[in-house]
Amino acid sequence: MHYWLMKSEPDEFSFEDLQRCRREPWTGVRNYQARNFMRAAELGDIVLFYHSNCATPGIVGLAKISKTAFTDPTQFDKKSDYFDAKSKPDNPRWSCVEVSFLESFPRLVSLEECRQSPALKSLLILRPGNRLSVTPVTAQEFREIKKLGSRK
């Protein structure tokens, strides 16, 4: 069992969007490290859903991995923003996973709040310049974030 933090810009795809459609293929990741994390994800792994590039960035709720890594079809779609001419169908470069809605936090756990919490000191998204859209989270970090998100 692993825990992952996945970023999404709410203008592109928000947690509310996931709540509405219940499940979504996590396509468009074009970074090798993030791709490798997705390939390591297992069925039932917990996903912390993070809103980036918005007024108050932070973790808004939980999802789970409902389908392990498979070929990201957008890399072969010429009309897609994520089209990759260098990726060959017989050796695809990019993978995606499917994530499913689990639960919405009663309150947002903001990035600022994570920074304040001693228990979250080592959280990868707090590292300067971290731009990975998929990062691993430890069980301890997960418990702390869940606690913060459940607090009234």
Binding residues (CB under 7 A) for DNA: these are 7, 9, 30-33, 52-54, 57, 86, 111-112, 125, 127-133
Cβ 33 to DNA, closest distance in Å?
7
Q: Which residue lies nearer to DNA by CB, 31 or 140?
A: 31
- The CA distances from residue 94 to 19, 69, 76, 83, 148, in Å, are 25, 9, 10, 10, 34
Smallest gap from residue 150 Cβ to DNA (A): 22
22/83 with CB nearer DNA: 83
CB of 21 to DNA, least distance (A): 21
d(CA 150, CA 152): 6
**34 within 8 A of 133, measured Cβ to Cβ:** yes
Burial of 148 (C-beta count, 10 Å sphere; 0-12/13-18/19+): buried
Complex with DNA: residue 89 or 128, whichever CB lies closer: 128
**C-beta closer to DNA: residue 44 or 112:** 112
Minimum gap (Å) between residue 57 Cβ and DNA: 4
E strand or H helix at 134, and its extent?
Answer: strand 134-137
